[in-house]
């Protein structure tokens, strides 16, 4: 592994894997879907399924990476029995990260723009906030390309440093920084009357609001929030020291990921309830509702808004690094490319497709990049959420549950889990997790 100039330290791996898991889904998506689906009951289902499904799959993916010690394709190939080498094709989940980056980097660019707005001046009414976002989204393609490029360059710079000097070093700085920002905002929010309402909204379940659709979204988000099935965690685990405890590491990553999502939700809902906002505004919650609330606080609000969007950018960028690394590692290991060449071509590929994604949502450019009623942005996002990530998660569950010999799995986990916990986890990975992933994919494809 040419890119592995050394291994992760244990803390470095936990923080880097946390960086892979923590993304815009924690600070943007989790609060808005919690708001849409009624709060506490939704959160309860989410927390239960994180433990039963998300964490189980996370540990399984870590197991493949740690045992394989190679890129995604080579790890599956190395661990599969001699007569089942076709499993190497499961490793092509590594390209899912590049597909995600074609639109994920664009959204990170929007956050950069809102960091600028926090300084230059925030919209003061919902109507002007909607107009501001629409002006960026549909009428400023070249401004979006500029911020998209900044995201691409940052990720490429970190990846050029490799595991120790790039990925680990960056996450050792940025993840504690992210926690510091969110905890600071939480302490500030404790002074609001709206904080008590936020706690009640998020943790006092009202099961009358728990529809079948809400359960599906809660289960789905518990799976997707941990970045399972795209090779990121597998790739990072390949750089673990031999005697690492992946059970403990997996639980720590799941805990950190969930903690950050819950803190973000408490902060956002505290501001909303304090200043008369409503939690059910959907995706526009962060880019429309919150800027108006921050604007009501004057100069202080501008500072808080800037800090909040910095936190979003940090979450997005640490996750983005992990999305590109699997492809870089594959190009190094399987094709023998030097790291600089692998990073350059991977970055160039998703940057260029990202430009087409921007054109697909921009008035005056969208026609060649629209398929029926869906933009290229919508098509790629749908492909990832409804097909690529569920397929990756399903293959991981089947490989660990049925292809790997049980004694191999036991040798990695039994001594850390204990017999009872191992039996529960193994049952989950063989039956609960694959059925849940198929259920999610089925319901996504029905939409």
**For the chain, how far is it from start to end, CA to CA, in angstroms?**
42
Name the H helices within 50-140: 55-68, 72-79, 96-120, 126-139
Single out the residue of 337, 330, 382, 321 nearest to residue 173, CA to CA: 321
What is the tens place of the pLDDT at every residue in 387-438?
899 999 999 999 999 999 999 999 999 999 999 999 999 999 999 999 988 8
Q: Residue 1 pLDDT > 50, yes or no? A: no
What is residue 104's predicted lDDT score, i.e. its pLDDT?
96
How many Å apart are CA 17 and CA 325, to the nearest integer?
Answer: 12
> Percentage of the chain with pLDDT > 90?
82
The band of 218, judged by pLDDT with boundaries at 50, 70 and 90, is confident
Q: Residue 170 pLDDT > 80, yes or no? A: yes
What is the tens place of the pLDDT at every residue in 292-321?
999 999 999 999 999 999 999 999 999 999
What is residue 278's predicted lDDT score, i.e. its pLDDT?
80
Asked whether 64 and 79 are in contact (CB, 8 A), the reply is: yes
Which residue segments constitute the domains of the chain, with CATH numbers given? 10-446 (1.20.1740)
Q: Residue 4 pLDDT > 90, yes or no? A: no
The 3-state DSSP class for residue 71 equals coil
What is residue 20's predicted lDDT score, i.e. its pLDDT?
94
Q: Residue 359 pLDDT > 80, yes or no? A: yes
What is residue 277's predicted lDDT score, i.e. its pLDDT?
81
What is the tens place of the pLDDT at every residue in 104-138?
999 999 999 999 999 999 999 999 999 999 999 99
**CA-to-CA separations, 286 to 82, 213, 256, 283, in angstroms, rounded:** 51, 23, 22, 7
Mean pLDDT across the chain: 93
Residue 412 zone, left/alpha/beta (φ > 0; ψ -120 to 50; rest): alpha
Which class for 307: exposed (0-12), middle (13-18), buried (19 or more C-beta within 10 A)? middle
Single out the residue of 46, 96, 15, 82 nearest to residue 396, CA to CA: 96
Q: Residue 5 pLDDT > 60, yes or no? A: no
Average pLDDT over residues 355-378: 95
Q: Residue 31 pLDDT > 80, yes or no? A: yes
């Amino acid at each position: 592994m040419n890119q592995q100039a050394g291994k992760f330290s244990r803390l470095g791996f936990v923080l880097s894997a946390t960086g892979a898991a923590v993304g815009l889904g924690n600070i943007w998506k989790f609060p808005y879907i919690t708001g849409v689906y009624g709060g506490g009951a939704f959160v309860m289902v989410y927390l239960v399924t994180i433990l039963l499904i998300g964490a189980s799959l996370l540990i399984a993916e870590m197991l493949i990476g740690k045992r394989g010690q190679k890129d995604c394709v080579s790890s599956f190939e190395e661990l599969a029995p001699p007569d089942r080498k076709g499993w190497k094709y499961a490793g092509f989940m590594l390209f899912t990260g590049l597909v995600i980056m074609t639109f994920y980097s664009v959204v990170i660019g929007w956050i950069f723009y809102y960091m600028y707005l926090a300084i230059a001046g925030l919209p003061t009414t919902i109507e002007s906030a909607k107009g501001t976002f629409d002006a960026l989204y549909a009428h400023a393609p070249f401004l979006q390309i500029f911020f998209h490029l900044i995201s691409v360059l940052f990720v490429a710079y970190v990846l050029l440093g490799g595991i120790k000097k790039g990925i680990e070093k960056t996450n050792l700085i940025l993840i504690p920084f992210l926690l510091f920002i969110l905890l600071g905002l939480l302490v500030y929010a404790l002074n609001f009357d709206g904080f008590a309402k936020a706690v009640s909204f998020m943790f006092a379940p009202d099961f009358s609001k728990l529809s079948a659709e809400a359960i599906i979204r809660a289960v789905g988000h518990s799976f997707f929030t941990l970045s399972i099935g795209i090779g990121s965690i597998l790739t990072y685990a390949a750089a673990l020291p031999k005697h690492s405890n992946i059970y403990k590491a997996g639980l720590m990553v799941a805990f950190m990921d969930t903690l950050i999502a819950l803190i973000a939700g408490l902060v956002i809902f505290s501001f909303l309830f304090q200043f008369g906002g409503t939690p059910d505004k959907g995706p526009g919650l962060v880019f429309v509702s919150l800027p108006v609330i921050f604007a009501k606080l004057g100069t202080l609000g501008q500072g808080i808004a800037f800090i909040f969007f910095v936190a979003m950018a940090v979450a997005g960028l640490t996750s983005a690094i992990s999305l590109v690394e699997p492809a870089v590692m594959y190009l190094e290991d399987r094709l023998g490319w030097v790291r600089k060449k692998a990073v350059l071509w991977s970055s160039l590929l998703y940057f260029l497709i990202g430009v087409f994604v921007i054109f697909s949502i921009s008035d005056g450019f969208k026609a060649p990049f629209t398929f029926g009623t869906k933009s290229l942005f919508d098509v790629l996002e749908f492909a990832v959420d409804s097909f690529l990530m569920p397929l990756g998660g399903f293959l991981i569950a089947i490989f660990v549950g049925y292809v790997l010999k049980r004694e191999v799995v036991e040798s990695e986990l039994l001594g850390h889990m204990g017999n009872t916990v191992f039996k529960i986890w193994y049952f989950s990975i063989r039956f609960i997790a694959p059925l849940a992933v198929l259920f999610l994919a089925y319901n996504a494809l029905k939409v």
